[in-house]
Structure formats: C-alpha cells, structure tokens
Homo-oligomer: A and B are copies of this chain.
Amino acid sequence: MSDFKRRDFLRAVGVTGGAGTMFAAMGALGLAPTARAADAEPAFTAPRASDFTLTGRAAAEVVIVGGGIAGLTAAYELGKAGYDCTVLEAGERAGGRNLTVRGGDTVIDTHGGKQTAQFSDGHYMNTGPARIPQWMITMDYCRELGVPLEVFTNVNASAYIHTSRTAPDPVRFRTAKADVYGYVAELLAKATDQGALDKELTAADRERLLEFLRDFGDIGGRVPDDPARSWRYTGSTRRGYRTDPGAAGTPGTVLGPVPSVSDVLTSGVGRAFSFEFGYDQAMLMYQPVGGMDRIPQALTRAVGERKIRTGAVVTRITDTAHGVTVTYTHQGSTRTLDADYCIAALPPNILARTPHNLGGAVQSALEACTPDSVAKLGLEYRSRWWENDHRIYGGITNTELDLGVIWYPSHAFHAERGVVIGYYNFGRDADAYGKPSPKERERRAVAQGVKIHGTKYRTELRSSFSQHWRQMPHVEAAWHSLEGGPDAARFAALTKPAGRVYFAGDYLSHTVAWQHGAFSSARKVVGEVHRRVVG
C-alpha cells in the first residue's frame, strides 16, 4: 500500500465511506442545527430474555470466532438475552488489537521474534487503539461497563511541529498558529478592505468579517489613508514567551522575531492544523484510566471468562443445513463445535485463509480487503524531560520524519518516569521500521527524535517496546482498507449472512480502525441474528 500520513488515511476513510457527501435537510434557520437533543446513533436495543417469552422460541447457540472487540461485544449483547455463546480466540488473551503492554508482557511475532516489555509499574503503552472521541459508542460501553475515563491529550498548543524548514528548531503549535492565523487574517482583511470581495460580501458582511479577523489574527486595525499599514500582523502574545511574565519587574518577553509571511508559508507548519478539526480527532478525547485494555477486560468479565476459549485456532468453518460446525485446534488437539449460528469476528485476512464453505463471493470479498501496516514504539524514560524541560504535558508533536508523530503520555503527570510513543506511522514507514530488530528500531527512532528533543531523548531512555501489527500472530494487519467502503458491491457478501454465518468487525463499518466500528458492526449482526431467532 502507499505511504500516507494518518490524516490522509482518515480523510480517505471519510471519502470512501461516502459520509462527506450526504447532507440532511434540517431546521429552517439555515444555521448549523444540532444541540438540545443527543446526536444519537441509530437506535440499538440489546436483545432481552423477555423477547423470547411470547414466541415460544429459545435463545440459540452461537459460536463466535475471534475475541476482539467485535467478538466480545457480540457475546456480551447476545448474552443479555440468554444466548449460549462461545468465543474462540486464537491468541492467549481476548481483546484483539486492543492490546495494552505493561512491564513483563511478552509478544512473540510471526517471525518468532520475542519481546518482553520492561516498563515500570503504572506505565504502559496502548499498542492498538489509544483514543476515544466523545461521540463514539465506545464511550457508552465504558459507561455501561464501568470503565473509568480520563482525557486523552490529542492536541497541545505547547507541542511541536517539526518540518525540514523549521530545523534545527521545531516550532510550538501555539507559535505556528499565531503566525499563520495572523497572516491569513492580514491578507484577507486587506483584500476585503480593498474591494476584492465586494462581489462575494455585502458591506455589512465585510465589516463583520473585518471585526472577526482582527480578533482571529490579533492584527492591527484600519489605518486611514494608508492601506499598506492597515490590518498588519506584527506578532502577538499568542506566540508564547521567551521569558514568561512573572512578578512586578518581569513583564516577560514575547517570542520573536516574527517571521515574514513568506517564511511562514514556506515552513509548511500550517499543514499540521487540520488534524484537530476532524470529527474523529477533535479534542476532547478520552482513554480508560489504566490502559485501553480495561475495555476488553470489562467485556470479558461481563461475558464470563469460561465462555471465552483462548488458544483456539479455527481451522474450518462449515455452514450446514441447520447450523454451523467450527473446527479448531486447542492445546495440540483438534476439536469441533456445533452451534446454531456463527459470527465470524476475526480479521478478514485471517478468515480469507481459513477453509470454509461460504462460497466464492465471500472469499473474493475477503481477499479484496487490503491489510494496512501500522507501527508503534513505546520509549520508557527515567525522567519526564518533556514536562520538566519543555513544559509539554501530554499531546502530540507532528513531524515530517518517518516517525510520523511523537506522543507524550496522557497520565501520571509529574511521575518519575513515563512512556513516550516514539513513532506511530503507516504504510512504508511502518514496514521500514518493522524489518529490523527491536533494538535497531529503537536506535533509528531515537536518532530521529534527537533532532527534535536533543540528547535527553537518548540519554534518559530506559527501555522500549515496538509493535508492528503486520507481524502480530492471528492478526497480521493494523486494519483493512475497503475500496469504496463496506457498502460497495464487492463487499456485499460480507454485510449479509452466508447461510448461518455472519461477519463482524471494524472493517465492515464506516469507522475503520476505531473500536466504534467494531462495536457498531457487532451490534448490527447481533440485531440480525436476534431478529432471525425471535422472528
């Protein structure tokens, strides 16, 4: 797959999902409606035991292949109505890509390479999903399951933007925004005031726009009879201070000098801004206290541990006239499980190479799902130099390096130690970091990070752990790209049952790579199974 950055990926998902092209006609005001009522998901009602009392039917047996978020959720929701669910999970623990790594945790990759994390107590790395937007139903599951939440620091005015043109020194988001917004305001105010937009705007709108721009860009006002000196951006306290304001006698010194508009445009810092405007990346965002795997842990408790068989590698799925037979290996022996229905909640790339009798259309659709490469590195430091020296308490530094981004931890502020995400990259960058040994990955990433943070990025390092999802047994992909989205004709065989087998996973949603997609897809399939059984 091509090399792209996270925001490009997210844009691509939005586009292929078709979401950006649909507008509902709402309200009469003409101004953004919303508010007052909840922006609800399409209503989902969990199956209930009472749904069976009038039908005379009994809850069915369901075998669920794959104990990731989709599989666990299917078992959880069906369990509410008394369905007899068994989850077959190939790995040694449930949760799938929702994997939090703590000190002592070991991962053996598909090449047999073994890593054991050395993180200190209380410090961890979410190797898969790590952030939750407020609108996603992941929040609802956290509430329902009693998983405490805290803010995930997705954006920070004090974090850096690093581009080849800002080198050797990176620039803080706050400074970059002050300059870019300042010049944008100056340029638009000048063009407006000089009549360039008279066809677009009424006189009253022009004045409103100028008033907004003065505030937005912190620019000067109109200088009568002197257009050249009007509306000028000449810097702002918003840039930040070289010496902070303090007591009397210490008014502080604003960062300067202010670069020219040409320098600002050439630097490319503005490319980093739109990330936080996205519907799925805008702050505030959240994370479970203690690690993202608090979610699958809570789901596992709710489902019942005895219903989840780990180390169970499915070797065949057979749809029969009246049920489904799933064959799997467990502790060296081959077993079969018969059930009324099967929910295949494993990754499509893994399912594609699992023997089945679900037909050529299913197989073609599975093979059309393109696995994506994503990699993450956790660097544990013996001091929190990013807080103490740089005064960056959480957030993300944006780079043009092959690291993609650097994340500062969203918890344990002021602790002795902390785990920084040293890269979170995609495509070719992820593949490139996946090839060498963990030690070499660390060496390369640290050499890059030193360019931004100086030598402490190397000297304070305590240990590291790197996760490359294409090399994760039983997963082998960070997520999947479905060209045209899950509703495209080529994937139609996966969005309906194949006999008594249903398909679930974030790849069959319009929010690929988010737990929300897995939850949503599981809910959809649960509803379909339940209506068939009750109905």
B391:A134 contact, CB within 8 angstroms: yes
Judge whether A4 is part of the interface by a CB distance below 8 angstroms.
no
B19:A277 contact, CB within 8 angstroms: no
The A contact surface, by secondary structure, is: loop
A200:B187 contact, CB within 8 angstroms: yes
Candidates B38, B202, B215; contact of A389 at CB < 8 Å: B38
Candidates B271, B286, B414; contact of A149 at CB < 8 Å: B414
- Contacts A187-B192, A255-B24, A286-B413; A265 near B209 (Cβ below 8 A): yes
Candidates B196, B215, B511, B521; contact of A271 at CB < 8 Å: B215
Judge whether A378 is part of the interface by a CB distance below 8 angstroms.
no
A135:B264 contact, CB within 8 angstroms: no
B254:A29 contact, CB within 8 angstroms: no
Question: In whole angstroms, how far apart are the Cα atoms of A70 and B393 in the complex?
Answer: 25
- Contacts A22-B251, A251-B19, A265-B208; A38 near B390 (Cβ below 8 A): yes
A218:B274 contact, CB within 8 angstroms: yes
A524:B249 contact, CB within 8 angstroms: yes
- Contacts A194-B196, A248-B524; A414 near B239 (Cβ below 8 A): no
Closest CB in chain B relative to A7 CB, distance in Å? 9
Judge whether A436 is part of the interface by a CB distance below 8 angstroms.
no
Judge whether A253 is part of the interface by a CB distance below 8 angstroms.
yes
Residues of chain A in range 139-188 having any CB-CB distance to chain B below 8 Å: 139, 142-143, 148-151, 153, 155-158, 160, 165-166, 169-172, 174-181, 184, 187-188
B273:A216 contact, CB within 8 angstroms: yes
With CB as the reference atom, state the residue of chain B lying closest to A496: B248
With CB as the reference atom, state the residue of chain B lying closest to A13: B245
With CB as the reference atom, state the residue of chain B lying closest to A184: B188
Candidates B22, B177, B453; contact of A253 at CB < 8 Å: B22
Closest CB in chain B relative to A149 CB, distance in Å? 5
Judge whether A106 is part of the interface by a CB distance below 8 angstroms.
no
Question: In whole angstroms, how far apart are the Cα atoms of A237 and B278 in the complex?
Answer: 7
Judge whether A9 is part of the interface by a CB distance below 8 angstroms.
no
B454:A36 contact, CB within 8 angstroms: yes
B277:A238 contact, CB within 8 angstroms: yes
A252:B179 contact, CB within 8 angstroms: no
Question: In whole angstroms, how far apart are the Cα atoms of A413 and B179 in the complex?
Answer: 36
Judge whether A236 is part of the interface by a CB distance below 8 angstroms.
yes
| Copies of this chain | 2
- Contacts A194-B196, A247-B521; A266 near B215 (Cβ below 8 A): no
Residues of B within 8 A of A271 (CB): 212, 215
**Which one, A107-115, A398-406, A469-477, A483-491, is touching chain B?**
A483-491
Residues of chain A in range 14-28 having any CB-CB distance to chain B below 8 Å: 14, 17-20, 22-27
Judge whether A441 is part of the interface by a CB distance below 8 angstroms.
no
Candidates B31, B137, B410; contact of A264 at CB < 8 Å: B31
Judge whether A105 is part of the interface by a CB distance below 8 angstroms.
no
Closest CB in chain B relative to A343 CB, distance in Å? 13
Interface string of A505-522 (1 = CB under 8 A from B): 000111100001100110
Residues of B within 8 A of A254 (CB): 19-20, 22-24
A261:B205 contact, CB within 8 angstroms: yes
13 A-B pairs besides A238-B279, A248-B508 with CB distance below 8 A are A19-B252, A27-B257, A32-B166, A32-B172, A32-B258, A33-B242, A38-B389, A142-B414, A155-B284, A190-B200, A218-B274, A246-B516, A252-B510
Identify 23 residue pairs between A and B in the complex whose beta-carbon atoms are under 8 Å apart, listed by A's number.
A17-B252, A24-B253, A24-B256, A32-B166, A34-B240, A34-B242, A35-B171, A37-B389, A38-B390, A38-B391, A40-B243, A41-B243, A42-B246, A137-B246, A187-B209, A205-B261, A218-B274, A238-B279, A245-B510, A248-B508, A248-B509, A283-B283, A284-B393
Lowest 10 CB-CB distances: which A-B pairs, in order? A23-B256, A196-B196, A157-B282, A245-B510, A191-B191, A246-B520, A151-B151, A248-B486, A247-B524, A32-B175
